[in-house]
Amino acid sequence: MTANPEYGHTHPGAVKNLPEVVFDLSEGQAPSSAFGKTETAVHLLPEMAGELMPPEEVPVLELSLSLRPGATPLEVALDLFRLYAAVNRLERSYRGAGLTPDDASCQVTPTGGKMSLRFKPTEPAGALERLTRLVRTINEAVTDSADDAGSLRYRSIERCEAQVIPTAA
């Protein structure tokens, strides 16, 4: 099969204007006096009053992490995935719809680093109660495991504090 070079190319050509075509659908009769006017009565709807309200406050879970000195980026990444999965699973166990990562910030120092993670609840209804229970559970688990040899059982995370922060929707 060979390609034909004539097809697929456009070339400028002369412009042809076609003659005007007039359609007369009135069949020679004069237009009615109501031409262009509606024959149906217009019904005005009652006025609807509304008030713009400020957005609802949606709580956000904030985790403040202290990273161990010498933690590798791979260890931190793996521990963050594990931490997110555990916190998300815990929120779902409280009949929530899960958490979505909202914001993160990181400050690295020569002796370690601090990281702040925020998670927004997928289902805002009842989120304050669920996140309050979640914070209490996380902070109690951190306190209880402080005596264990691998606090928090994460290689790169030395300390974790949880709190609920109200934010606009």
What's the CA gap between 153 and 24, in Å, rounded? 86
Question: How many domains does the chain divide into?
Answer: 1
Does residue 93 fall inside a structural domain? yes
Let me know if residue 106 belongs to a domain. yes
Residue 163 in contact with residue 139, Cβ under 8 Å? no
The SS3 assignment for 102 reads strand
Residue 14 located in a structural domain: no
| Domain membership flag for residue 13 | no
Domain range holding 89?
Answer: 57-168
**pLDDT, tens digit (0-9, with 9 covering 90-100), for 74-100:** 998 999 999 999 999 999 999 999 999
Residue 160 tokens read as: 């974790």
Do the domain assignments include residue 95? yes
Residue 30 belongs to a domain? no
* Burial call 138-163: b when 16+ CB within 10 Å, e when fewer: beebbeeeeeeeeebebbbbbebebe
Residue 91 maps to which CATH number?
3.30.70
What pLDDT sits at residue 150? 39
Please name the helix (run of DSSP H) or strand (run of DSSP E) that holds residue 153, with its range, or none.
none
pTM of the complete model: 0.61
Q: Is residue 38 part of a domain?
A: no
For residue 136, the model assigns a pLDDT of 94
pLDDT tens digits along 86-135 = 999 999 999 999 999 887 777 666 667 888 899 999 998 899 999 999 99
pLDDT tens by residue, 25-73? 777 777 776 666 666 777 888 888 887 766 677 899 999 999 888 888 8
* Domain annotation covers residue 91: yes
pLDDT confidence of residue 134: 94
Q: CA 128, 66, 96: angle at the middle one, nearest 5? A: 25
